[in-house]
Structure 1
């Protein structure tokens, strides 16, 4: 990065003015574009350029920026002025010609001919002269006589005539000859016409914009500009030279390209590496708020989800592993043979030779191609017979009751088929629908779904289920296996007039497994069930999705009811009896602890009553009848407190004993 300047600086943040006018450079303007003194190239494909300008007092800096770099200038420009501030920056807009003529009564074509311009300036006060004659007034219009042959057979030169309303209210006609002149007397219109002429003259230099940066400061000084532009990524090549002493010499070379559009002379160059985030924003373009468009409802079916991955067979169940595995479908009815494709038209172009590379496929067209500039060419590059069986696909996550008609397309061409739109025709040549085809590697298959099959209906009903399959106790912790199941029943009503091969796609759940007699395969995202349907047939397909979850419970903290519930789920009698024993001990412990709490409450209330009696005794004479009564009550309460304390100690001892018994029972190893 260029070395920072230790001066106060002003950053262009809000004072950016875009104007259609091309500002003329003032006498105090610096128009040399500054000196490029430093460039920092980033591995992210950006160049930070530092320019230095010598200025004196208030001055305007002028820099020609390529049009492609204007967005980056507006995004990144920073001005460092040691004795001044930035007043603003102006530049022509993205479409100066269009913006300039938007509010004018004439366009650029009208300015090419005086009669056209005069016609467009109707209502403007002018002074016109032609053929030695002068008129002054308001333009009413221009009359253009029709061309036609003269009596001698020669073509007459057309002469437009200008109609002017003069001051006395008279209408004068002035023939506009080759020496005609037109002077605009309206100051505002004359200024607008001058601006239009200036912008029109700049129309040939639309590849660049003049940036005018106004500075307000005092004294002679150097002003620094930093900005970013797009640049080629610089490259590195290393050389390592090994030596006999176990050391080596390394040379690293950088490949740098200057794509800034201007020369570098004695530039300080910095190369940076890393992974910076780089954005480009269309700051220089007009931005309009887009209103939503209300669509027209049609009868077309909702586009189905595209098939993006290959199907693979389900793993066979393994009885030895004891784990739940996905079952391969026991029986899958054979699909009917696809109808032969319609014959290719005579004289159709042959397939292009193809080659499958490590990461790409290439097709070489067999013939030279001729195409005019601006033209379009359509030419075949694959012409092969491939396997494609019709199928009805019910996508459970689509939310529809009808499946989608499709083709299971197998790529037998030996080379990857590129992705794209697929237009499907029926065997009789009628258009059946369109499909979105993902890339298909050689020998793989993809579903191409092209229309809703409204003759087939599929409904689904799902019931959740949860079971405890294993309960064990170890080190005072209950360990259980919980099995969650989703039992889904698909009811299918087939087409009344033809058989169907039905494929049901069910979204895969992370951590879940599937079981079904109809399970035939899986993709990266879905399970697939297959069912053959005869014409008018109905069928039911069952699918079980399940997953196992381990659950633990600290038995010392579990109450008796929880322990009894878990005893009912125990897998063996020994665990069941032990949980019931623990539940009894936990219930007795809970009763002992409740007895301690009751004793504590009774003792607190007795002590509070004793304090009340003592306060009452202090308020009356001790030898009075009431005083003697309070003395007796104190003695009785003291005896009661002693008994309560003894009962509380007994309850606490029992609770401690029960806690120790529960701990011993938990520590006992499983039988």
Structure 2
């Protein structure tokens, strides 16, 4: 307690520290009487509610903040806190109560929120849908009403019906109220009714309540959460919870001076979006990514259960049996403990000391408190072990903060000298002609610098704006804030080249390894009166390796940076070359003879591979010769067939005994003999070509 309530005089500056987890309730120990019991209930005869002012706020950059209220209570006393309906879920998920001086937290009660549709459906008048006058009256069948038309009529609603009413050349549908009065049944046009009043007071009250619920659903009203503490005498109590809250932000100012070290000034921006004023609140700002989520705990949830029909059996008359007097009377067996899932109220053994305690003795048993205290103790151990996953960084504002509701504040968190190195940063994707004026910022403070905007002042004048990412102590970041118009850069690409490195056979595929080279040439002109240090940024292409220069000055995830010194009024040409070694497999069937001739002449191709390629060319040539012979024979058959058609046409007008007819017949006979021989040759050559195609790649990789 002494460490927690330290005096403001000892708080001299903002402290930033690394921690494996933000301990929201440190440095005091969790007492045995801690209870988180979010159930209905109250304390009979309790004193008027005590005040529990806000004492501590821890703001995270994940959209939540931890709020802690601290104060004193006397005896059995309650504390009221107000929240917006949307904030109740976070409170129910995270609320922790501590009674530090021998008492114990009892219960937490809050205004329930039934789902609106279910609440409306439970009333006598259901307004859950967009109800018309006719729909409303159909719900009220049998109810007694007073209807004001031409004169008052009292009766019970029978129903509503639609009738066709003629109007000039057409007809319209009109709703009529069927009313049972003392005079009998009558139909009253609804468009003639001026007023209609419910005579049943309970029904009229439900109608009014439904309208109020609909109106309340559109307005934001704070819900009251009542914390109950039980004990004797005056005691210190605390209540803490997580709620949705704007992330805190940072902004920086960097003042550059030729004669002095640069000054870095950082401010944290915090908004009080709550409905309460902060008065002397202990404020901490935490960076990191603790997991947080929303869960619906405030709205009652119902589970649909299956409907099961009861089984019907024939009735059996009960029998009464006398006791055996030869045996002693059996003692009453103790009730079996209720069974259920751990963590539930009635049957589980985790939340309130087990099912038997709840069934017979109530739920506020000390055993349940002890079990819950042990659970919270183990939770603290888990949080301290979470540092193996990631670290959090905290800024503690040493001066108590007072901030009115719906107001914002800038709080100084950094004000120290830092190390800076001036340079220019060139990235052609940012600006093709000029680099950016910048500097290399070294975090020489002991603080963790959060990401945010940074405004640069140089020689007492505004120099530009920039942004920085998170910088740990001793970390470095590049900062660019203006366009350097006195340095001009021209970029020229170097013609890409490809060279064969290796060739090998892998089955029936020729695997070729090539080296591709490409480059960029940077012509840098420095028009400054001073030497200029330049960082050239070049994107990294996956697979491409740097060949010139041997190494980059810096390498990020997707960028290489090269450092170049340029003298005043000088021009420097800087070369960057990259290479890519890649393999590609090409099937032997798809390689052209022209490519093969190039590979045979290439010195990088091994002799064994060349022999295989030569053999492939030889087999292709033999196959081509066979196919050429087949084509010649086929063409000769076509030529003879065409000549035979001419001869037969000429023979049609000749006498069979003529010499010319005999000559034509002899000619046809000779041609038929030649065709038969040609067809035999074509068949033989076709079989030969088929076999050559089959043998084209056989045993080629092994030859």
Structure 1 length normalisation: TM-score? 0.46
Structure 2 length normalisation: TM-score? 0.44
